[in-house]
Amino acid sequence: MQIQVGIVGAGPAGLMLSHLLHQHGVDSVVIDTRSREEIEGTIRAGVLEQSSVDLMTETGVGDRVRQLGMVHEGIELRFCGRGHRIDFTDLTGGRGVTIYPQHEVLKDLIAKRLADGGDIRFGVSGVQVKGITGDAPTIGFTQDGVEQELTCGLVAGCDGSRTMTRYLIPSPEPRQDHFRQYPFAWFGILAEAPRSSDELIYAHHRNGFALISTRSATVQRHYLQVEPNDNVHDWSDDRIWQELRTRVDGAEIKEGPIFSKSVLPFRSFVCEPMQHGRLFLAGDAAHTVPPTGAKGMNLAIADVHVLSRAMTRFFAAGVRTALDAYTDTALPRVWRAQHFSWWMTSMLHRMPEASGFDLNRQIAELDTVTRSRAGRTLLAENYVGTPFD
């Protein structure tokens, strides 16, 4: 089968890329080893920047985001028993973020692609990508017991943090992998409870970080900083609620039955370059950020916003200029997001063997940021995200 763009991975990057290409008349096939049910059923939190919501709305996949998403116009930084609000609306000229889970974004994109006649192959196996340095790379796979092959003009590696496409770029040259593993993890829960707060609370405490978040009016998502080797069975419901109350230090926490517990490792990663021959990486296949800055899904959308326009120009006029510049165009935003995520993480989390000096230095930094309009603006502008253009 001849196709203009073969896309490996039906996550946010791959599905959004296929959707944006379709808007410009470029055909694509998306393949994924997971079933549609697995993809739509993987429960993940989601904070959408203003630019991500705007792009979804402009391209016809924003109806449910507007209807069901919760617009947040600020966050609270809490330390030393006091809350300090970062007012996004005031500090960024009216911009904000929307709380909308990643799996709901995937449902929206899958439904739209199928309604538009898009070709998504779920549950394939034996994926092999070959010939990326030639003029006609191929993607081979097996579907329903039948071996198939796509001959592509271009290939997009959008297969997430467990990628295989990234390793098609030779290492150590030209591929350079920048990696940092953090010495802690997040313990995440989903609970049937009313909202504890109208906006997210980021809490610094000597016991460790806590995040009071939300999923809906009746389901809440909260996180605690824990050791990387902690097990969900180590944490009873009573222990979880007690530790959350301790760490938010005076803020009200509304409790309810906990129906999901998970331990999330913390890491930062960037692959450079994000392209090789006719292969182009996007989303978690190219980079991973700690969730503290709420940048993961937004970076994936930003990547494919750049990549879709470059691919469109290539197929419309045979011009590779924008394609060749893809890495140079996308990477500055990636590194800004890495810095912001690292900054939020280092400012709010207790580091192993932290001394009184370290804890008081963090408090001084939080105090500096929240007292200063310039500090609050720096945080707000990075959190809501800069426009894609």
Residue 182: in which H helix or E strand, if any? strand 176-192
Catalytic residue among 182, 223, 326, 383, which?
A: 383
End-to-end CA distance of the chain: 35
DSSP-based three-state secondary structure for 130: strand
Q: How far apart are CA 167 and CA 244, in angstroms?
A: 40
Q: Where are the alpha helices (DSSP H) in 28-128?
A: 36-41, 50-58, 63-68, 88-91, 102-115
Determine how many CB atoms are found less than 10 A away from the CB of residue 187. 24
Annotation marks residue 291 as catalytic: yes
Annotation marks residue 202 as catalytic: yes
Catalytic residue among 291, 305, 326, 349, which?
A: 291
User: CA dist 308 to 21, 217, 226, 315, Å?
Assistant: 6, 36, 39, 11
Q: How far apart are CA 247 and CA 313, in angstroms?
A: 51
Q: How far apart are CA 34 and CA 277, in angstroms?
A: 27
Residue type, 34: R
Catalytic residue among 100, 202, 223, 326, which?
A: 202
Residue type, 349: H
Beta strands in 193-283, from DSSP E residues, in sequence order:
201-203, 210-212, 219-226, 258-272, 275-276, 279-281
Phi and psi at residue 212, to the nearest 5°: -100, 110
Annotation marks residue 182 as catalytic: no
Torsion sign, CA atoms 175, 269, 334, 190: positive
Torsion sign, CA atoms 34, 40, 46, 50: positive
Annotation marks residue 383 as catalytic: yes
Q: How far apart are CA 361 and CA 307, in angstroms?
A: 41
Catalytic residue among 19, 204, 222, 295, which?
A: 295
Residue type, 9: G
Catalytic residue among 12, 19, 22, 72, which?
A: 72
Residue in the block written with tokens 């603006």: 377
Beta bridge partners of 28: 5
* Active site amino acids: 72, 202, 291, 295, 383
